[in-house]
């Protein structure tokens, strides 16, 4: 069973006077454990697809089956639950809470867990996630005290804290230098390999896209190509980094 199944997905919205066809009848299947990179220029609809995949937006028509379940018509609170437990987000701008420790940042998804996770348990799980990212010793640093790469790793830790099946990454290396970008990509690859987490990543940079096992090109709301790929091995390219134990 595919983890993600898009069937004739269409998304249209109004922008002032004009109608924007962000996605036109897109169909796509993603299996567990794939590392799919979606590449396209701005306005191609890749962001829209990411939002729909992330249950942040509903399609205008068509179906989105997540783990075999049609989520396009679920109520908001249920979608929130899916985002909470089954999806992990990584953003270009990290989106960490300022003036808050790394540990507290990683805890954020746990605050919205239902049933409620008590404080001690939250701390434990967050610390474990941070440590897995190699930042256990910086648990009490604020984002301003961390480098870009470290911040993104905190964000990835946050994305993983509820042990989701799917990671959605939106230009995760956009704000990082080359070396750090490679480190982050290595991390994502490792996650996929060691923990069988499905990764869907969107980018406009082909070099980044080549880290995936499958490259999907999108343009003007339609998939123009979808081909498997031999991923660039970021793990070897990067110097010692990950301590992901799976």
Q: Which residues bind another protein (CB under 8 A)?
A: 51, 54, 56-57, 76-77, 80-81, 83-85, 89, 91, 93, 95, 97-100, 104, 108-109, 111-113, 116, 119, 158
In the numeric block, the tokens 């498997």 are attached to 228
Would you give the end-to-end CA distance of the chain in angstroms? Answer: 23
Q: How far is the CB of 108 from another protein (least distance, A)?
A: 6
- Angle in degrees, CA 169, 21, 75, rounded to 5: 60
CA separation for the pair 114, 75 (Å, rounded): 16
CB of 90 to another protein, least distance (A): 11
Closest distance between another protein and the C-beta of residue 232, in Å? 28
| Residue 170 vs 183, nearer CB to another protein | 170
Residue 43 · residue 204 · CB < 8 Å:
no
Peptide bond into 21 cis (omega under 30): no
Nearer to another protein, 68 or 115 (CB): 115
Angle at 130 between CA 124 and CA 136, to 5 degrees: 90
- For another protein, the closer CB: 108 or 235: 108
Between 11 and 192, whose beta carbon lies closer to another protein? 11
For residue 176, the minimal CB distance to another protein (Å) is 18
């Amino acid at each position: 069973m595919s983890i993600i199944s898009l069937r004739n997905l269409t998304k249209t919205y109004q922008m002032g006077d004009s109608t924007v066809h962000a996605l036109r009848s897109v169909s796509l299947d993603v299996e567990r454990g794939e590392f799919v990179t979606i590449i396209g220029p701005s306005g191609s609809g890749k962001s829209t697809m990411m939002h729909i995949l992330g249950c942040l937006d509903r399609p205008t028509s068509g179906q989105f089956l997540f783990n075999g379940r049609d989520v396009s018509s679920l109520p908001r609170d249920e979608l929130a639950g899916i985002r909470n437990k089954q999806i992990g987000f990584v953003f270009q701008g990290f989106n960490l809470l300022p003036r808050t420790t790394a540990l507290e940042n990683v805890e954020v998804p746990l605050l919205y867990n239902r049933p409620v996770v008590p404080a001690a348990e939250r701390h434990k799980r967050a610390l474990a996630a941070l440590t897995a990212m190699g930042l256990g010793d910086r648990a009490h640093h604020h984002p301003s005290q961390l480098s870009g790469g470290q911040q993104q790793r905190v964000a990835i830790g946050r994305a993983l804290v509820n042990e989701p099946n799917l990671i959605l990454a939106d230009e995760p290396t956009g704000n990082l230098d080359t070396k750090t970008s490679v480190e982050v990509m290595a991390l994502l690859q490792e996650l996929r390999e060691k923990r069988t987490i499905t990764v869907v990543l969107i980018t406009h940079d082909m070099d980044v896209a080549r880290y995936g096992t499958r490259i999907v090109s999108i343009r003007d709301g339609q998939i123009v190509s979808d081909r498997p790929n031999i991923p660039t091995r970021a793990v070897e390219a990067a110097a010692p980094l990950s301590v992901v134990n799976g």
